[in-house]
Structure 1
Amino acid sequence: MSDTTANGNPAAIAGQAEYPAGRWLIAAVVGLAAFMEVLDISIANVSLSHIAGSLSASQDEATWILTAYLVSNAIVLPISGWLSQVMGRKRFFITSIVAFSIASLACGMAPSLAWLVVFRIIQGAAGGGLQPVSQAVLADSFPPRERGMAFSIYGVAVVFAPAIGPTLGGWITDNVSWHWIFLLNVPVGIVLTILAWLLVHDTAAYEKARKAKMAAGFTVDYIGLALLTLGLGCLQIMLDKGQDDDWFSSTFITTMAVTSGLSLLALVLWEPFQRHPIMDLSLFRYRNFSIANIMMFMLGFVLFGSTLLIPQFVQQVLGYTATLAGLVISPGGFVIVVMMPIVGMLSGRVDARWMVGIGLSLVSISMFHMTGFDLDSSYTQLVLARCLQTLGLAFIFIPVTSIAYVGVPPDKTDQVSAMVNLTRNIGGSVGISLVTTWLARRGQYHHEVLASSVTPYDHQTQALLHQLTQHFMAAGAAFNEARHQAQATIANLVAEQSQLMSFIDDYWILGIVIACLVPLSLLMSSGKEEH
Structure 2
Amino acid sequence: MSDKYAPRDWHPDERPTLPGSPSFPQHTPRRRLAFFLVGTLVTLTGGLGNSLVTVNLINLQGALGAYASEVNWLPTAYVMTNASMNLLLVKFRQQFGLRAFTEFFLVLYALVTFAHLFVNDLGSAIAVRAAHGMAGAALSTLGLYYTLQAASRREIRPRFIAASLGISQLPQPIAYLFSTRLLELANWRGLYLFELGLTLVTLSAVLWLKLPPGDRFKAFRPTDFLTFALFAPGVALLCAALTFGRVLWWTSQPWVGVALAGAVFLIVAAIAVEHNRRNPLLNLRWLTNGMIARLFLAMMLVRVVLSEQSVGAVGFLRLVGLNNDQMTMLFLVVLLATVAGIAIAVLVMNPQHLMGPQVVALLIMALGAWIDSHATSLTRPEEMYVSQAMLAFGGVLFLGPLLLTLMGTVVTNPGNLITFSVLFSLTQNIGALLGSSLLGTWQVTREKFHSSILAEQLSSLDPLVAARIQRGAAAYAGTLADPAARTRQGISVLAQTQTREANILAYNDVFLAIAAIAAFLALWIFGRALWLMYVAPPAAPPAKGHTALDEGPAEPPTDSPIATPEGQPPLPVPRHPLPHNEITR
Match of 1:264 in 2: 267
| 1:391 to 2:393 alignment | yes
Q: Aligned partners of 2:162, 2:186: CA distance in 1, in Å?
A: 32
Displacement of 1:266: 2.5
Residue type at the aligned position of 1:397? L
Displacement of 1:33: 1.8
Displacement of 1:272: 3.3
Displacement of 1:362: 0.6
**Contact in 2 for aligned 1:406/1:529 (Cα 8 Å):** no
Structure 1 window deviating more from structure 2 (441-450 vs 452-461): it is 452-461
1:401-425 per-position Cα deviation (integer Å, ceiling 9, x unaligned): 2222223236358533443233112
Q: Aligned partners of 1:422, 1:139: CA distance in 2, in Å?
A: 23
Assess, with a 3 A threshold, how the Cα gap between structure 1 residues 466 and 422 changes in structure 2: closer, same or farther.
closer
| Secondary structure at 1:63 match in 2 | helix
Q: Aligned partners of 2:303, 2:245: CA distance in 1, in Å?
A: 19
Residue type at the aligned position of 2:60? I
| 1:62 to 2:85 alignment | no
| Secondary structure at 1:34 match in 2 | helix
Q: Aligned partners of 1:356, 1:219: CA distance in 2, in Å?
A: 41
Within 5 A, what are the aligned runs for 1:452-463? 452-458=456-462, 460-462=464-466
Q: Aligned partners of 1:335, 1:160: CA distance in 2, in Å?
A: 10
Within 5 A, what are the aligned runs for 1:322-471? 322-348=324-350, 351-408=353-410, 409=412, 411-412=414-415, 414-415=417-418, 416-458=420-462, 460-462=464-466, 464-465=468-469
Residue type at the aligned position of 1:451? A
Structure 1 window deviating more from structure 2 (282-291 vs 91-100): it is 282-291
| Secondary structure at 2:322 match in 1 | coil
Q: Aligned partners of 1:411, 1:294: CA distance in 2, in Å?
A: 22
| Secondary structure at 1:110 match in 2 | coil
Match of 1:98 in 2: 107
Residue type at the aligned position of 1:373? A
Gaps of 5+ in 1: 1-7
Displacement of 1:467: 7.2
With the length of structure 2 as denominator, give the TM-score of the two structures: 0.79
Q: Aligned partners of 2:480, 2:273: CA distance in 1, in Å?
A: 76
**Contact in 1 for aligned 2:57/2:72 (Cα 8 Å):** yes
Assess, with a 3 A threshold, how the Cα gap between structure 1 residues 468 and 138 changes in structure 2: closer, same or farther.
closer
Residue type at the aligned position of 1:124? G
**Contact in 1 for aligned 2:340/2:393 (Cα 8 Å):** no
Q: Aligned partners of 1:43, 1:272: CA distance in 2, in Å?
A: 40
Of 283, 306, 309, which aligns to 1:306?
309
Of 243, 255, 258, which aligns to 2:258?
255
Q: Aligned partners of 1:371, 1:40: CA distance in 2, in Å?
A: 31
| Secondary structure at 2:409 match in 1 | coil
**Contact in 2 for aligned 1:139/1:413 (Cα 8 Å):** no
Structure 1 window deviating more from structure 2 (32-41 vs 460-469): it is 460-469
Match of 1:119 in 2: 128
Residue type at the aligned position of 2:240? I
Q: Aligned partners of 2:256, 2:59: CA distance in 1, in Å?
A: 27
Assess, with a 3 A threshold, how the Cα gap between structure 1 residues 405 and 286 changes in structure 2: closer, same or farther.
farther
Q: Aligned partners of 2:351, 2:296: CA distance in 1, in Å?
A: 23
Residue type at the aligned position of 1:342? I
Displacement of 1:144: 4.5
Assess, with a 3 A threshold, how the Cα gap between structure 1 residues 9 and 163 changes in structure 2: closer, same or farther.
farther
Match of 2:235 in 1: 232
1:212-252 per-position Cα deviation (integer Å, ceiling 9, x unaligned): x44xx844423211121121010111112212322143221
1:377-426 per-position Cα deviation (integer Å, ceiling 9, x unaligned): 34322111101111211210221122222232363585334432331121
Structure 1 window deviating more from structure 2 (397-406 vs 229-238): it is 397-406
With the length of structure 1 as denominator, give the TM-score of the two structures: 0.86
1:460-499 per-position Cα deviation (integer Å, ceiling 9, x unaligned): 5346556777898899988546644543342233112101
| 1:76 to 2:85 alignment | yes
Residue type at the aligned position of 1:436? G
Q: Aligned partners of 1:470, 1:116: CA distance in 2, in Å?
A: 47
Assess, with a 3 A threshold, how the Cα gap between structure 1 residues 52 and 507 changes in structure 2: closer, same or farther.
closer
**Contact in 1 for aligned 2:304/2:434 (Cα 8 Å):** yes
| Secondary structure at 2:83 match in 1 | helix
Q: Aligned partners of 1:303, 1:200: CA distance in 2, in Å?
A: 34
Displacement of 1:71: 1.1
Displacement of 1:85: 2.2
**Contact in 1 for aligned 2:242/2:433 (Cα 8 Å):** yes
Match of 2:498 in 1: 494
| Secondary structure at 1:135 match in 2 | helix
**Contact in 1 for aligned 2:43/2:143 (Cα 8 Å):** yes
Displacement of 1:279: 3.0
Assess, with a 3 A threshold, how the Cα gap between structure 1 residues 293 and 90 changes in structure 2: closer, same or farther.
farther
Q: Aligned partners of 2:445, 2:9: CA distance in 1, in Å?
A: 53
1:106-160 per-position Cα deviation (integer Å, ceiling 9, x unaligned): 1123233322222221111111122234335656874542123312431233211
RMSD: 3.4
| 1:161 to 2:171 alignment | yes
Structure 1 window deviating more from structure 2 (99-108 vs 487-496): it is 487-496
Within 5 A, what are the aligned runs for 1:477-488? 480=484, 483-488=487-492
Residue type at the aligned position of 1:201? L
Gaps of 5+ in 2: 1-7, 17-22, 534-541, 549-578, 580-585
* Structure (1/2) with the larger helix percentage: 1
Q: Aligned partners of 1:83, 1:232: CA distance in 2, in Å?
A: 20
| 1:179 to 2:185 alignment | no
**Contact in 2 for aligned 1:27/1:150 (Cα 8 Å):** no
Q: Aligned partners of 2:195, 2:9: CA distance in 1, in Å?
A: 37
Within 5 A, what are the aligned runs for 1:498-513? 498-513=502-517
| 1:42 to 2:45 alignment | no
Match of 2:557 in 1: none
Residue type at the aligned position of 1:44? V
**Contact in 2 for aligned 1:164/1:333 (Cα 8 Å):** yes
Match of 1:192 in 2: 202
Assess, with a 3 A threshold, how the Cα gap between structure 1 residues 14 and 493 changes in structure 2: closer, same or farther.
closer
Of 156, 160, 164, which aligns to 1:150?
160
Q: Aligned partners of 2:26, 2:132: CA distance in 1, in Å?
A: 30
Within 5 A, what are the aligned runs for 1:134-149? 134-135=143-144, 138=147, 142=151, 143-149=153-159
Of 180, 195, 199, which aligns to 1:170?
180
**Contact in 1 for aligned 2:286/2:416 (Cα 8 Å):** no
**Contact in 2 for aligned 1:82/1:278 (Cα 8 Å):** no
Residue type at the aligned position of 2:338? I
1:53-89 per-position Cα deviation (integer Å, ceiling 9, x unaligned): 4444444433322222121112314442233223323
**Contact in 1 for aligned 2:159/2:346 (Cα 8 Å):** yes
Q: Aligned partners of 2:307, 2:184: CA distance in 1, in Å?
A: 23
Q: Aligned partners of 2:75, 2:14: CA distance in 1, in Å?
A: 46
Displacement of 1:91: 1.9
